[in-house]
Amino acid sequence: MTDIPLAAVVMAAGQGTRMRSATPKHLHPILGRRMVDWVIGLGRELGAQPLVVVASPETAGEYADDVRVAVQSQALGTGDAVRCARGALEGAGDVLVLSGDHPVLTAELLEGLIKTHRTAGAAGTVLSFEPADPRSYGRIVRDESGSLARIVEASDATDDELGIREVNSSIYVFQGEYLWAALERLEPHNAQGELYLTDTLSFLVGDGRAVAVHVATDPRDVDGVNTRSDLAVAAAVLRDRINAAHMHAGVTIVDPATTWIEPMVEVAADVVIEPFTSLKGATQVESGAHIGPHVVAVDSRIGEDALAGPFCYLRPGTVLEAGAKAGTFVEIKNSRVGARTKVPHLSYLGDADVGEDTNIGAGAITVNLDHGRPGKNRTTIGSNVRTGVDNAFVAPVMIGDDAWTAAGSVITDDVPPNALAIARAKQVNKEGRGGKRDD
């Protein structure tokens, strides 16, 4: 790479009507991020400055502070979109043009594109690929020498041109000075007044400028998203990449096809992840933990040698300390479960702090919502506590170390250390009041 500064513009102003959604296409979530955020993240990874997103007026406020936003008031085509960003990119050296609906792009591929562009000394360079189905992609038309002659849109292509397998990805690199001059020459192609960015390459070729083509070796890295089906395919590609990286780092994923791990999740070596597990947000999993099957963990920390699952839901703020267990049909939210403590089955812990070496009996519920006042109350359960089955803990309440609670108890008052708490009505048998009646 040279020292030429790199800027980037991400086109994200389209509505994506084929998604059949009130949500703009670029803002659809895909594996923990919005589609466009995957592309913006590549711009950051490449060190592009400035990094500009071209957005519609309705979505202009949806981006982080380190991203400049240029508003495209009307959807007048890709050429107009890049032209809207000119003010934010003025003076840039090389300009990388990205489409916000290409979430499976990789930094390695874009680095190859930029290297080809700079090695060739090109005024503009296009990223091409050969998909199994060229569909409505613009065709790359080459001249007798193999150089780019033009890019023809599928709707304008002849039958022979439609037979071309190499297509345009809508991803480019330009030398800034040539890009702005070419954009000034664009003219609309239809009654809608749309301006095609592809025409700038034809202008450069016609002017005798060097125009290069960089061919992606794996078409899956370049395919865009236009429909819900495309979205699912892209999500699977991203899932497989993330899972492969974790497995390469020493994580056992029993069935990668049913395991979804979002990009911000941290998983240490020697973790085992069973099928149908989803790890989301900023979840952290420490070495030796065993997760799943059928576990969802969101913004949680699962400690060393901890167990979660099967059929377990760890909501934001959950911490399982080393050796702790959250078992079958257990839900935990905003709670800390101490080292070696077991919550084996059929329980809900919300807004709770549980000490070490405690066993929570089946059917435990922390009653954390006080209907008489706003907010949630906390339950504190000490170390080496044994709670009975079908206990409810009405917060705020504290259970001391070494205490026991009897089965079926509703605990409304604090329990001192090393005490047995019984909070249930005395059983009364009413003779002759069962289901059988004498006539």
Tokens of 51: 């990094």
Upstream peptide bond of 293 is cis (omega within 30 degrees of 0): yes
DSSP code per residue over 314-344? E-TT-EE-TT-EEEEEEEEES-EE-TT-EEE
The bridge status of strand 301-302 relative to strand 284-285 is parallel
Question: Is the separation of the CB atoms in 151 and 201 below 8 Å?
Answer: yes
* Helix, strand or coil, per DSSP, at residue 138: coil
Distance (Å, rounded) from C-alpha 128 to C-alpha 51? 23
Q: 376 has which bridge partners?
A: 369
The bridge status of strand 33-34 relative to strand 29-30 is antiparallel
Distance (Å, rounded) from C-alpha 136 to C-alpha 155? 7
Tokens of 195: 């301006």
Annotated catalytic residue: which of 26, 246, 345, 371?
345
Max Cα distance, the chain (Å)? 107
Q: In 184-327, which ranges are continuous DSSP H helix?
A: 198-206, 228-248
Burial 290-313, CB ≥16 within 10 A → b, else e: bbbbbbbbbbbbbbbbbbbbbbbb
CA 427, distance to chain mean position in Å, is 53
Q: 421 has which bridge partners?
A: 405
* Residue 345 annotated in active site: yes
Q: What is the dihedral of CA 183, 185, 186, 191, to 10 degrees?
A: 150
**Nearest 5°: CA angle at 134, between 132 and 136?**
150
| Catalytic residue set | 345
